[in-house]
Chain A
Amino acid sequence: MSTGDERPVEGAGEPRRLHPLTPPARGWVVIAACLGVVVHNVNSGWATPSRLVIGLGVVVPLAFGYGYVSWWFTTFRIEGDDLRLDSGVLFRRTRHVRLSRLQAVDIVRPLAARLFGLAELQLQVAGGDKAEASLSYLGEADAQKLRAELLARAAGVRPDAGEAPEQTLVSVPLSAVVGSVLLSVGTWAALAPSVAVVILAFALHELAFVFGSVPLFLAAWQFTAGRVIRNFDFTVARSPDGLRLRHGLLEQRHQTVPPGRVQAVRIVQPWLWRLRGWVRVEINVAGYGGKDADNKETILLPVAPRAVAHGLLGQVLPGIDVDAVELIPAPRRARWHDPVGWSAYAYGADAEVFVARSGRFHRVLDVIPHAKVQSVRRTQGPWERRLGLATVHLDSTPGPVHVKAARRDAAEAHTMVAEQAERSRTGRREAGAERWIAPASDSSSGSASSLDEGAG
């Protein structure tokens, strides 16, 4: 695509600033810490009330001043295909974000920002941990408008097309989220030590025990209430500019993943969820990367019946029917390598996708379209070699999904690698362009694998 910077009329926008309430919204932690120090020291020897007030009178305006100077020097504008970000008071920094390479756009509203009516706009681009550009904070309405504009530009349609209409696909009821947390071995494993500590503390009349094990309680909180709060009101919707995910009780997150940006999908069924037939769906998106330790961004569906999850899969990877792919189990001698898990290992492939299954208790089904495979690897450890087995990995971008067909017959693995290299080659050739909605005048093949195509 041509960058077309000779015509600044259409591309370049006015430099814009972040919302003026940004400094207090960002700096409230510092202010709260200052107040905490004041309250804590108000009766100690050196810190007389007057000294503290003078100190506060110096520190707080200084912090505010710095915040506003920094705010003044931070601007962003749209230049052709790029979003340009200028920041820094002493050391100026300019970043260009290629909109055609946009992998996802998130609007995040932490609790503090919500009090101010602000939102953070995160642009996820592929590569590196620090790759994403974040605009914090914008007004809520501004953030939505900018998101619509950026997505429209990235898609290649007129930037003033406005917000794309959306259609809700799945919304997860609170009862299912709570149930999914209760039906988790991890939850009880995290809760057990905390309960034990509390009982012990009461039995021994040693309340110091309780204060000493605050980290334990925090972990238990993360595993239970934290998960409910993160996945509260989880909604998956579809719109022409991509998949919309919305969730969170305190910190709200609105994610937009444009069509064709999902690299791989994993369907997980933890052991106890079998009772209800529930599964969880996780995705790899290049922009989210491996930095997402607690799965805030990479969960497509926290809990749903299997049929719903498979239906959603058809939306994420259009034209793909995972159930129709026939799975070939690993050879029987794999049990000498994995006595427990061997019977779960299986893989299958059709013209579009590669599917791999694993986990006897914690069932996992990994799906990757051939066109999204980054590289194919075959590995063989000494014990595998003794048994004439090998493992084939299909590498995806960083994320929760790792696709591998484990413990295959060595000769079979050999042909698998060759076939997979061939399938991925043809898959890539047929895959669509970077821009998912080609302009009407563009007569290129434009078979951009997109959701709206399936919508018809």
Chain B
Amino acid sequence: MKPADDALTPPDLDWRAVSEQLYRMRRALLLAGCVLLAVVVGGLLGRFVAWWAGAVVVLACAGAGAWGLPAIRRNQRSWRYAERADDLLIAHGVLFRRLVVVPYGRMQFVDVEAGPLERRFGIATVTLHTASASSDAVVRGLPPAEAARLRDRLAALGEARSAGL
């Protein structure tokens, strides 16, 4: 994404990008899904219905993969976050863009999650929970060390600036 295109994120901040491993993990998922679909559905249709039906499915899967790869690349590049003195900013999304500003004092707790696949690719997800259910403050694709640093910093700042409801 070109910086000029990026009117949503104030440029005067120290924006951090997330790990490329997020892209690699999603690429692996996408390719695995496409190949599986092409082989199973395409194979069954080709074998038992008509060869051209199977070919259509295989072609569709290839198309989805070809369209999806750049899309998840752009999505991974769109993820960024910045720590300011009093709040955390998170921006992401290509088609549907969003920017969240969460004051540290509003955090109720911080979650760090890493599923088996995420661990294999060496990334983690940090979620900030506020008293609102719609805050949606999530940072995906952080290297574990950075996730731990962010968690500790957020916890410390949240404690220092804690406000009631």
Contact = CB atoms under 8 A, between A and B. Distances in A.
A224 interface: no
B165 A375 contact: no
Interface stretch (A186-194, A335-343, A393-401): A393-401
Given A379-B96, A397-B131, A286 B106 contact: no
A428 B131 CA distance: 15
Nearest to B136: A377
B80 to A, nearest CB: 14
A411 B8 CA distance: 9
If over half of A's interface residues share one DSSP class (helix, strand or loop), that class is named, otherwise mixed; here it is mixed
B96 A377 contact: no
A398 B132 contact: yes
Nearest to B128: A375
Contacts of B96: 379-382
Interface residues of B, number: 28
A208 interface: no
B160 interface: no
A410 B7 contact: yes
B76 interface: no
Nearest to A433: B164
Interface string B59-81: 00000000000000000000000
A390 B93 CA distance: 14
Interface stretch (A38-46, A149-157, A230-238, A417-425): A417-425
A369 B22 CA distance: 38
> Which of A286, A375, A393, A402 counts the most B-chain CB atoms under 10 A from its CB?
A375
A398 B103 contact: no
Interface in B82-112: 86-87, 95-103, 105-106, 108
Given A286-B165, A396-B132, A375 B99 contact: no
A126 interface: yes
A431 B131 contact: no
Nearest to B84: A421
Contact of A377 (B10, B95, B100): B100
A377 B100 CA distance: 4
A380 B78 CA distance: 14
Nearest to A391: B98
B103 A381 contact: no
Contacts of A433: 164
B82 to A, nearest CB: 12
Interface in A344-382: 372, 374-382
A433 B132 CA distance: 20
A263 interface: yes
Interface in A64-109: 103
B132 A397 contact: yes
A290 interface: yes
A375 B164 contact: no
Contact of A380 (B97, B105, B131, B133): B97
A127 B109 CA distance: 11
B137 interface: yes
Contacts of B8: 378, 380, 390, 414
Contacts of A424: 103
B103 to A, nearest CB: 7
Contact of B135 (A375, A381, A417, A434): A375
Contacts of B108: 127
> Which of A103, A374, A385, A414 counts the most B-chain CB atoms under 10 A from its CB?
A374
A432 to B, nearest CB: 8
Interface of B: 7-8, 10, 86-87, 95-103, 105-106, 108, 130-137, 163-165
Report, nearest first, the 7 A-B pairs whose CB atoms are least far apart.
Answer: A374-B132, A395-B132, A375-B135, A376-B101, A374-B130, A375-B102, A380-B97
